[in-house]
Amino acid sequence: MPNESARTPRDTPAPRGATALPLHFYKTLVSSPVEAQGDNMDARLDLPQGTLDLLILKSLSLGPQHGWAVSERIHQISQATLAVPQGSLYPALHRLERRGWIKAKWGASDNNRRAKYYSLTARGRAQLETEEDAWNRLVAAVGLVMKTT
């Protein structure tokens, strides 16, 4: 008989008189969709979890920006390869704000419209440094694997 502590929920008998209902667990890919542009204009990249956050933090490390400008900066710096849709950008900005990595304040944009400007906090700068280091290690490791023949 297997060890009781090693039993999975499926192996555990239901209590007497209980009706068993089927449960389905779905594994979902946790990613941030970003549109890739260039040679393959219809391509869409699913970035690994945390990559969009890293791109936003890096963009804001250069100075405070409103959401649209963050997206434009990522697009420009990636040499028009990455385009972050608003449906991915704004939830990410709000998530980073809740984590205390960025802060927001209202101001006027270049065209004199009201806009929310985001900037890095001290915690955000520390997180960016941690994320950059992890990203660089990942890229180096994947690069080594890809070079093997």
Is residue 129 in a domain?
yes
Is residue 19 in a domain?
no
pTM, full prediction = 0.71
Is residue 22 in a domain?
no
Structure confidence at residue 148 (pLDDT): 87
Structure confidence at residue 42 (pLDDT): 55
Is residue 144 in a domain?
no
Structure confidence at residue 93 (pLDDT): 97
Cα separations in angstroms, 146 against 6, 11, 139, 140, 149? 38, 41, 10, 10, 8
Is residue 100 in a domain?
yes
Q: How many CB atoms lie within 10 A of CB 120?
A: 23
- Domain with 78, as residue range(s), is 42-133
Domain count, the chain: 1
Structure tokens that stand for 116 in this block = 């929310």
Q: What is the DSSP annotation of 95-147?
A: HHHHTTSEEEEEEE-TTS-EEEEEEE-HHHHHHHHHHHHHHHHHHHHHHHHHH
Structure confidence at residue 49 (pLDDT): 84
Structure confidence at residue 61 (pLDDT): 97
| Three-state secondary structure call for residue 88 | helix
pLDDT in tens, the chain (149 residues): 444 444 444 444 444 544 433 333 333 334 455 655 555 555 677 778 889 999 999 999 999 999 999 999 999 999 988 999 999 999 999 999 999 999 999 998 888 899 999 999 999 999 999 999 999 999 999 999 999 86
Which residues are CB-neighbours of 37 under 8 A, at least 6 positions away?
A: 43, 80, 81, 82, 83
Is residue 11 in a domain?
no
Residue 73 belongs to domain with CATH number: 1.10.10.10
The one-character DSSP state at 17 is T
Is residue 28 in a domain?
no
